Structures are given as structure tokens and as C-alpha cells.
Amino acid sequence: GPKVLQIPSHQIIDMGQMVTLNCDPVSNHLYFYWYKQILGQQMEFLVNFYNGKVMEKSKLFKDQFSVERPDGSYFTLKIQPTALEDSAVYFCASSLARRAGNTLYFGEGSRLIVV
Amino acid sequence: AQKVTQTQTSISVVEKTTVTMDCVYETRDSSYFLFWYKQTASGEIVFLIRQDSYKKENATVGHYSLNFQKPKSSIGLIITATQIEDSAVYFCAMREGGSNNRIFFGDGTQLVVKP
């Protein structure tokens, strides 16, 4: 099926530092998402993004979080500064259109460990 | 309130048998979309199958099929002729038909397929 690529696959970072998680969505997809999964728990929605703008974000999407996709390159999630509770696996997803029936395709996740 | 509920935490089966995983959902929308994803040991999340609420026929893809019981708000996943490599965590998900792009996931069911 369609592939979403995420870089890095894992990263260890000191608390307070900045981290950028990169996502290369499916090539013709227009809508992009970030989800957060703490070990052993369900995936939780963070944000979705379209046409250069945040469409919707959850309460988990703290002020320290930001997303962008400059010039059609990687769709990024930046956390600055990081906190211990940000340790989780972050999944990027993309879909072709906004209609609710469109299937989301997920990347393999970026495991973030904040120490 | 939890919108998607998977009550089975873990299921163990012998290969080549059939397994059913339960999922119930909660929505006020008349139009919604249901998905099953599988998360492998590596963390990869793979889209398996979907059911659109307006469709009466149960979806089938390969050895995956769905048991959609709309009056019970239930969408069970059936895997026939299970294989060792089907061992994974299976997530049920729902996306409502309105403008909200959010997809809600259940807590997941761990499937172990033994020889």
C-alpha cells in the first residue's frame, strides 16, 4: 500500500532541547496528521494540516508544538522545548482528501525519548 | 466518553484457525467510517480494511472480513486461516462523517498466533 516515511525512527534528546520529526507523506496526498502513542496505549490525535495551515488540533498539541511543510518538502513536527512527558512514538499519517471516508496511511513512527 | 471500545486485550489462537476481534463504537452521526489497522512488532501501522456506514454489505479484503452490525454499533474483524505473521496489535478506528477529520482509535487487541 501507499507508504509514509518518517525520519528519524528514534531519537534520544535532553529535556529542554528542540526536536524536529520529519514525515514524507504519500506523494499525491494533501492532508497530513500527527498522532502520539505512549507505550502500550492507544494512538491519540495531535493535529491535522492542509494547504499550509493547521486545520484542527487537540489539547495534546501544546504551545511548544508546531507543524509546517515548507515548499512541499517534509511535513514536520517540532517540539521546543521538549519535556519528559513528550516521550512517546509519534506517527505521521496522510490522506488524499479531507472527506471523512478517506483512509489515513501511517508511517512507521518516530520514537522520541526525552531524558 | 470513549468513542471506540475494544474489550479484548489479548487473544491467542493456533494458526490456520479463524479469529474474531470485537469493536463497538459510539457516534451520533448518521454517516461514519470504520477502519481496522494492525500494528506490527516493529511499530508499523498498516491499514487493513474499512466499512462505510451506509454500506450494508460486509467488507472483505483477502483473509480479512468485517461483521458490521449497525444496530449494535459493532464492527468485528474476522481473520480466517490465520498465519504466524498475523501476530500483531489490531486497532479499530472510527471517523465521523462531518467536517471533523479526527479518527478515534480503540485501545487495541493483541493477537498471538501460535504454531
**Is the separation of the CB atoms in A30 and A97 below 8 Å?**
yes
3-state DSSP assignment of residue A27:
coil
**Predicted local confidence at residue B2, as pLDDT:** 62
**Tens of pLDDT along A27-36?**
888 889 999 9
3-state DSSP assignment of residue A85:
helix
| Cβ-based neighbour number of residue B2 at 10 Å | 12
> What is the pLDDT confidence band of residue B11, given thresholds at 50, 70 and 90?
very high
Looking at chain A, how many residues does it have? Answer: 115
Q: Is residue B62 within 8 angstroms of chain A, CB to CB?
A: no
Distances (CA, A) of B3 to A69, A86, A87, B88, B115: 31, 24, 25, 22, 35
Chains A & B: contacts with CB separation below 8 Å = 63
**Predicted local confidence at residue B98, as pLDDT:** 65
> What is the pLDDT confidence band of residue A100, given thresholds at 50, 70 and 90?
low
Q: Is residue A94 within 8 angstroms of chain B, CB to CB?
A: no
Mean pLDDT of B46-55: 93
**Predicted local confidence at residue B99, as pLDDT:** 54
pLDDT above 90 as % of chain A: 69
A2 closest CA partner among A18, A26, A24: A26
Contact at CB, A1 and B42, closer than 8 angstroms: no
**Predicted local confidence at residue B59, as pLDDT:** 94
Q: Is residue B101 within 8 angstroms of chain A, CB to CB?
A: yes
> What is the pLDDT confidence band of residue B1, given thresholds at 50, 70 and 90?
low
User: Which residues in chain A are closer than 8 Å to B104, comparing Cβ atoms?
Assistant: 45
pLDDT above 70 as % of chain A: 97
Asked whether the predicted pLDDT for residue A47 surpasses 90, the reply is: yes
Grid cell 493535529 is found at A47
**Predicted local confidence at residue A101, as pLDDT:** 63
B34 closest CA partner among B10, B69, B1: B69
- Least confidently predicted of A62-71, B3-12, B26-35, B106-115: B26-35
Q: Is residue B105 within 8 angstroms of chain A, CB to CB?
A: yes
C-alpha cell of residue B11: 487473544
Who contacts A99 (Cβ-Cβ below 8 Å, separation ≥6)? none
